Amino acid sequence: MKRWGAPRIAAVSVGLIMVLLIGVLATRRNAMERQRSSPLVGRVAPEVAGPDLLNGGRARLSDGAGKWILVNFFASWCVPCAKEHPELVKFAAAHQASGEVSIFAVVFEDQPKGVKAFFAKRGGGWPVVDEPRAAVDYGVTGVPESFLIAPNGVVVGKLTGGVRLASLETTLARFKAAYAAANASTTVAP
Amino acid sequence: MIRRWALPAVLLIVIVGALGFSARDIGRPPTAEERAQSIASRVKCPVCNGLSVQQSEAGLARTIYAEILRQVQSGRSDAQVTQYIVDTYGREQLTRPDASGIGSIVWIAPVVLVVLSLAGLAAAFRRWRPSGSRTPSDADRALVQRALRREGGS
Amino acid sequence: MTAQFGIFGVLIGFAACVLGASGMAVGVVRQRPTITLFAMKFVPYVLIGSVVAVAAMETALLRHDFSLAYVAKNNALSTPLAYTIAGMWSALEGSILLWGLILSLYITIVWRRFKARRTDPLVAWALIVMLAVAAFFFALMLGPANPFKTLAFPPLDGTGPNPLLQNHILMAFHPPILYTGYVGFTVPFAFAVAALATGRLGEGWLLETRRWTLIAWGALTLGIVLGAWWSYEVLGWGGFWGWDPVENASFLPWLTGTAYIHSVLVQERRGMLRVWNLSLVCATFSLTILGTFLTRSGVIQSVHAFSDSNIGPWLLTFFAVIVAVSVGLIGWRGDRLRSPGAIDSPLSREGGFLANNVLFGAFAFVILLGTVFPLVVEAWNGDQLSIGEPYFNSMARPIGVAMLFLMAVAPALPWRKASGELLRTRLQWPMVAATAVVVACAAAGLRGAWTLLTFALGAFAGAAALRQLVLGVRNARRQGRSALAGFIGRANGGMVVHIGVVLVAVAIAASGSYGSSARLVLKPGESAMVSGHKIEFLGIKDQTLAGGRTRTVARIRTDGDRIDEPAITRFSAAGTPIGTPSVRTGLRYDLYFTLAKLPIVDGGAAVIGVKVQPMIVWLWVGGLIMAIGTALAIVPGRRTRRPTDPSTVGSSDDDRLLVGAGAGR
């Protein structure tokens, strides 16, 4: 007296697997919208060093150690970069007095001539380094992309797409508070 | 009997020998370019659709390839270079899943499936094993002869 | 105006599907043939509806009627005629329209062919299922994939089709042929469901759909090969298959369909594997829908970026319904389907088909797993991982080699039980061929055991198939028929297909192992050597083409005489530049040129990609031979066996040899 033959058992198990698969597929977001977190966050920022196109000589990211640094990957041919640029100029100006935040730009697939014209037209005077491998070190996939680096040299956040002054300030304030809290706890702990 | 099977046996030995000969070492370690190409073929180009860094001509892909090549030339091992890509672009940039961890499922599951289905088939054949006499009776032979004659005649 | 016409057509089609299907269902369930027959009168209106809709769309395209959103997006005043016509299947909404048209054609042909048997519940149920599927696609056109959306403010000129889709004339053929295959599997699926619903689970439904399945399979094969060819000629990376989700989506039903057309022979001959065959048919159809979902919903990144629509949930729901219906029916009827037969020996034709099914099933599993696994992992623990070409290639290699081996041995196996002696005589010459090939290759210094193994097994399988064809021709001659008869019919046509497969396998292995590529950085007038060819860069030339296209061409001279012109084309002033490779096809290898990077300054160095791709042309030839073989298999042989005939009085050469061997002992 067999009530459940092999076909029925197979049908039920295939059905169950299919229910799971459909469940998974139904709950997936669109591949384009999927936010990817950078594996760099939480780790020490890779060094960037290369010729400074704007100010001449060589510039190194580690020169700004001990301060908050916004590493900004950009290109003169990129429209969102041009849109973002005035916001960065304002951001730099707002923090110039305190000197605790600086911007460090890295050129992405661009010619020096275009970069110089870009800055001549749109202002800004921070270091602009031309070093192609930096984009790979930071896992850059497109421009603009920015990384916020804490005074201890650790990457705390990645900002994809053009930044706006207001949101940049709130992000910075949030990370600053978290950083202060973390440092306080580590200094108290021992 | 043995004479009849001699030819296939010799052919089989020749085939295996030729295959073994073709699998011999190329006699030199791979060049840095070859190693870099092989690593790059397992890295997804971040700005392309469905191409590897090795296949793509996109600017960023060439930059990533140049960095892979530079690291290989500076003496880093394949595993170290691959880990570098994981550290910068993330695990999802590698198109070949690891043989350990959760990715190993895609390597093991098909093998398990094949083994299970072969086992299932073996069990079925055991169940199907003919019971009783299967040697043709004289009546069967007569039937066959008649059928053959009909075939030949038409 | 055309938009209204189009919508009108879609509405007619939808209404005819719904009325026809529900009417027939009522008639069949209540056993009132008059109602069934009346409801069947709606069937031709399904075709009329979709023809009206397609005619409306083509009229709008030809008139460049940019008040239709679809036309504005996929056509421009400057689009050439061929691409204007093909514009109907160059984006999501239009491709659903094409799907609807092909499905209605199939439905109407089925309806015509079964004219005499329309009251038969099996036919009625099959038509109900097909109409239900068609109703779904018409509903898509009324809902999320409406091709006839209008714009309140039509633009003066459209944006034109995706540049990649108007770069090669293959684009005009590949989608309709592929869809003919894709959609064609609806017919066997519908008959399978009908068989389950009516409980008439014998071999009847198999016979009805045999030819339909072969037509669908052949079209799918041709469509896949044309897609690979398009990808090779247009995309510029020098490859033809990247295991992209959209390619996998077409390959999955091909695999299960191939498994089915083999294992169905066991059921015809022995009355066994009924559940399995029904499952394969249902799986094939479900996979076409799943593949469409995966590539059209945007959950997976793919070359075909059709992701800007909310068609996803609809397709997924439809997939769920199909799976539920198939699994439910098979679970319900499954125990009735059990057949008492037995397979005597694993070393038999039946055993060969079973092994074939294990391999094809495993291959399909690998591809489905590799395609959806990243999504499953993401759902499981949020990790992101990718599975791509390296994984699929390393899995496909052992499976493909095993398939080639089986392809050589299985046709030599007789039904029921093989003796070692029989195999030895039948496989002797194929084995000699394999040895000759592998020895010649090894002596020529070719390396790579996998590749040489593929060549050897290719020769083995090719020779085995040739042997069968020679026997077939001889048989036909002996019976006083033309030699051509030896190529016709399912078994012989199948051997022709096998030869095509061998060519494809050898071409894939050769191009994967012995290709080489170089990136040449050359200034005008400079030259370089690549694989024994002198490649000379003559210079850059700008061309203005019809339709506002501009093209920068690199003139390249190979070996002092032949000129190749790979280019970078811009389809509009602001558009993204598209590389256009130049392919020099040869019997032994192709030379594939791309213009990778333009010189930055005038007279500066350009980057030119040169690829040597061995034996690629045999891939396309093999695909063509597979299609021809399928066509030969579809043509009915003179003596068509009925599956109800006792199988022991088989008239094929196999059985005679076996019986002879048994009797002579």
pLDDT on residue C541:
87
- What does the pLDDT average to over C592-601? 86
Nearest-Cα residue of chain B relative to residue C517: B55
- What does the pLDDT average to over C59-79? 91
Q: Are C137 and C205 in contact (CB under 8 A)?
A: no
pLDDT over 90 at C393, yes or no: yes
Domains of chain A by residue range:
31-186
A150: closest CA of chain C, how far (Å): 26
pLDDT on residue C158:
85
pLDDT on residue A188:
44
Residue from C246, C279, C299 to probe the interface with A (highest A Cβ count within 10 Å): C299
Q: CB C609: neighbour CB atoms within 10 A? A: 21
Q: Both B17 and B64 in a single domain? A: yes
SS3 of A2-28:
CCCCHHHHHHHHHHHHHHHHHHHHHCC
Instruction: Name which of A11, A26, A31 is nearest C300 (Cβ-Cβ).
Output: A31
**Residue A185: pLDDT band with limits 50, 70, 90:** low
More confident residue, C90 or C498: C498
Provide, as residue numbers in chain A, all residues whose Cβ is less than 8 Å from the Cβ of C327: 11-12, 14-15, 18
Q: How far apart are CA C423 and CA C416, in angstroms?
A: 14
Inter-chain CB proximity A109 and B60 less than 8 Å: yes
Query: Cα–Cα distances in Å, from C392 out to B66, C1, C284, C397?
Result: 26, 49, 20, 8
Nearest-Cα residue of chain C relative to residue A8: C331
pLDDT on residue B66:
94
pLDDT on residue C64:
92
pLDDT over 80 at B27, yes or no: no
pLDDT on residue A32:
65
Lowest mean pLDDT among A99-108, A149-158, B7-16, C297-306: C297-306
Strand partners, C614: C589
Instruction: Name which of C298, C313, C316 is nearest A31 (Cβ-Cβ).
Output: C298
Percent of chain C past pLDDT 90, that is, above it, reads 54
Q: Both B87 and B114 in a single domain? A: no
Instruction: Name which of A39, A132, A135 is nearest B87 (Cβ-Cβ).
Output: A39
Provide, as residue numbers in chain B, all residues whose Cβ is less than 8 Å from the Cβ of A139: 88-90
How big is the CA angle at C92 (ends C89 and C98), to the nearest 5 degrees?
40
Any chain C CB within 8 A of the CB of A17?
no
pLDDT on residue C517:
87
Q: Are C571 and C602 in contact (CB under 8 A)?
A: no
Among residues C95, C43, C51, the alpha carbon closest in space to that of C74 is found at C95
Q: Is C591 helix (H, G, I), strand (E, B) or coil?
A: strand
Instruction: Report the predicted TM-score, pTM, of the whole model to 2 decimal places.
Output: 0.90
**Residue A3: pLDDT band with limits 50, 70, 90:** low
pLDDT over 50 at C655, yes or no: no
Interval C154-181: pLDDT, tens: 898 888 887 777 778 888 889 999 999 9
Packing angle, helices C204-234 and C186-198, rounded to 10: 160
Provide, as residue numbers in chain B, all residues whose Cβ is less than 8 Å from the Cβ of A137: 67, 88
Which helix (H) or strand (E) segment holds residue C537: the answer is: strand C533-545
pLDDT over 70 at C649, yes or no: no
Nearest-Cα residue of chain C relative to residue B108: C366
Instruction: Name which of C275, C293, C331 is nearest A12 (Cβ-Cβ).
Output: C331
Interval A85-144: pLDDT, tens: 999 999 999 888 888 899 999 999 888 888 999 999 988 889 999 999 999 999 998 889
Peptide bond into A144 cis (omega under 30): yes
Q: Is C610 helix (H, G, I), strand (E, B) or coil?
A: strand
pLDDT on residue C451:
93
Q: Both B120 and B85 in a single domain? A: no
Inter-chain CB proximity A24 and C379 less than 8 Å: yes
Q: Both B63 and B139 in a single domain? A: no
Q: Is A52 helix (H, G, I), strand (E, B) or coil?
A: strand
pLDDT over 90 at C148, yes or no: yes
Beta strand A128-129 with A101-107 is: parallel
How many CB pairs lie under 8 A apart between chains A and C? 70
Alpha helices, DSSP H, located in C382-489: 389-409, 420-443, 449-478
**Residue A66: pLDDT band with limits 50, 70, 90:** confident
Q: Both B82 and B132 in a single domain? A: no
More confident residue, C431 or B22: C431
Q: Are C226 and C240 in contact (CB under 8 A)?
A: no
Structure tokens at A97: 């007095």
Selection from C237-241, C503-507, C586-590, C645-649 with the highest mean pLDDT? C503-507
Provide, as residue numbers in chain B, all residues whose Cβ is less than 8 Å from the Cβ of A109: 59-60, 63
Q: How far apart are CA C37 and CA C49, in angstroms?
A: 20
Nearest-Cα residue of chain A relative to residue C318: A22
Nearest-Cα residue of chain A relative to residue B47: A141
More confident residue, C58 or B140: C58
Provide, as residue numbers in chain B, all residues whose Cβ is less than 8 Å from the Cβ of A142: 46-47
Beta strand C567-570 with C549-558 is: antiparallel
pLDDT over 80 at A184, yes or no: no
Inter-chain CB proximity B67 and A38 less than 8 Å: no
Inter-chain CB proximity C366 and B110 less than 8 Å: yes
Q: Both B42 and B88 in a single domain? A: yes
Any chain A CB within 8 A of the CB of C386?
no
Q: How far apart are CA C425 and CA B7, in angstroms?
A: 11
Lowest mean pLDDT among A177-186, C448-457, C527-536, C571-580: C571-580
pLDDT over 50 at C646, yes or no: no
Lowest mean pLDDT among A43-57, C139-153, C298-312, C378-392: C298-312
Any chain B CB within 8 A of the CB of C491?
no
pLDDT over 60 at B44, yes or no: yes
Amino acid at position C11, single letter: L
Q: Both B61 and B110 in a single domain? A: no
Interval C13-39: pLDDT, tens: 999 999 999 999 999 999 998 999 999
**Residue B43: pLDDT band with limits 50, 70, 90:** very high
- Find residues 512-531 of chain C whose CB sits inside 8 Å of chain A: none
Average model confidence (pLDDT) for chain B? 86
Nearest-Cα residue of chain B relative to residue A40: B88
Nearest-Cα residue of chain C relative to residue A35: C384
Any chain C CB within 8 A of the CB of A15?
yes
Q: How far apart are CA C209 and CA A98, in angstroms?
A: 80
Residue span of the structural domain in which B73 resides: 2-96
Q: How far apart are CA B10 and CA B19, in angstroms?
A: 14
The total of structural domains in chain B comes to 2
Lowest mean pLDDT among A20-34, A43-57, C435-449, C472-486: A20-34
pLDDT on residue C18:
96
Provide, as residue numbers in chain C, all residues whose Cβ is less than 8 Å from the Cβ of A24: 372, 375-376, 379
Q: Both B68 and B110 in a single domain? A: no
- What does the pLDDT average to over C211-234? 93
pLDDT on residue C206:
83
Any chain A CB within 8 A of the CB of B104?
no
Inter-chain CB proximity B70 and A135 less than 8 Å: no
Among residues C327, C209, C293, the alpha carbon closest in space to that of C257 is found at C209
Provide, as residue numbers in chain A, all residues whose Cβ is less than 8 Å from the Cβ of B92: 36
**ipTM of the complex model:** 0.84
Q: Both B16 and B69 in a single domain? A: yes
Provide, as residue numbers in chain B, all residues whose Cβ is less than 8 Å from the Cβ of A36: 90, 92
Q: Which CATH superfamily is domain A31-186 in?
A: Glutaredoxin (3.40.30.10)
Selection from A122-131, C94-103, C422-431 with the highest mean pLDDT? C94-103
**Residue C635: pLDDT band with limits 50, 70, 90:** confident
Q: Is C40 helix (H, G, I), strand (E, B) or coil?
A: helix
Please, is C132 exposed, middle or buried when counting C-beta atoms within 10 Å of its C-beta (0-12, 13-18, 19+)? Answer: buried
Any chain A CB within 8 A of the CB of B97?
no
Instruction: Name which of B47, B60, B88 is nearest A39 (Cβ-Cβ).
Output: B88
